[in-house]
Amino acid sequence: MHRITCNADLEEGMAALRLLHPHWTAIIDRTGVPPLRRRDGGFAGLAAIIVSQQLSVASARAVLARVESVLAPLTPERVLAATDDEMRLSGLSRPKQRTMRAVAAAIAGGELALETLETATPEQVHARMTAVSGIGPWTADIYLLFCLGHRDGFAAGDLAIQEAARVAFGLPARPRAIELEALAEGWRPWRGVAARLLWAYYAALKSREGINA
């Protein structure tokens, strides 16, 4: 697997994207080098992504701190052994409690071997992860991008990326995931850099509008 591990990797991808379309030059001139945003993988990394779904950064950090405190050490075995009261005290919503338990069971039972994802293609990562109840495409994408650091990961279903693409590429409407996926085919094998640039571009747009991004 080709990984994004440092700013030099980002810069290599940015140079490649510049050659594909003049819109990328305008995006890069606006954003500069985007944040690397790498994070630890494994069960702890996946758990953090599950916690962060549909939450602000601050809220996600607060809930994750409670989860790590109540369910210490945060392992599949500890989650499976947790009582209903402990899961409630962790601050997780009921759907996220179910997802966390489903993921823990899949890992403990060998159905989801996170270590095998290290050498898998984006399509294989998606298939293996979304086979687990509660893990959707967005969660698989974020794990692929930031825990695995895959060079060609992408997150076509992310609303911020969709909106950034709409503005940057002059699209008539915010693209649906399937439409953005088709557009991003032309950005291979650097879709992981493209995703980071579009997130950075979205943040720049929000900042211009006076909104915290």
Distances (CA, A) of 55 to 63, 77, 121, 151, 166: 9, 26, 28, 26, 23
- Residue of 197, 137, 210, 211 whose CA lies nearest to 167: 197
Contact 148, 130 (CB under 8 A): no
- Using 50, 70 and 90 to split pLDDT, how confident is the model at 212? very low
Which is nearest to 46 in space by CA: 70, 26, 67, 20?
Answer: 67
For residue 208, name the pLDDT band (cuts at 50, 70, 90). low
Amino acid identity, position 167: V
Q: What is the model's pLDDT at position 1?
A: 60
- pLDDT for 79: 97
Judged against a pLDDT cut of 70, whether residue 193 lies above it is answered with yes
Residue 3: strand, helix, or coil = strand
Residues 103-123 have pLDDT tens digits of: 999 999 999 999 999 999 888
- Mean pLDDT for 14-24 is 95
Residue 11 has pLDDT above 70, yes or no: yes
Judged against a pLDDT cut of 70, whether residue 17 lies above it is answered with yes
**H helix runs in 53-187, sequence order:** 57-70, 76-81, 84-89, 94-108, 122-130, 137-142, 159-168, 177-184
CB atoms inside a 10 Å sphere around CB 59: 13
- As a whole number of angstroms, the distance between CA 174 and CA 112 comes to 34
Look at residue 188 in the predicted model and tell me its pLDDT. 95
Phi, psi of 151 (to 5 degrees): -60, -30
Structure tokens at 192: 């992981």
pLDDT digits (tens, 9 = 90+) for 57-102: 889 999 999 999 999 999 999 999 999 999 999 999 999 999 999 9
What mean pLDDT is reported for the chain? Answer: 93
The residues, ordered by sequence, that sit 6+ positions from 125 with a Cβ below 8 Å of its Cβ are 117, 140, 143, 144, 148, 150
| Residue whose entry in the numeric block shows the structure tokens 């080098």 | 33
Q: At what angle do helices 177-184 and 159-168 cross, to 10 degrees?
A: 60
Sign of CA dihedral 166, 167, 169, 170: positive
The span from the CA of 71 to the CA of 210, in Å, is 39
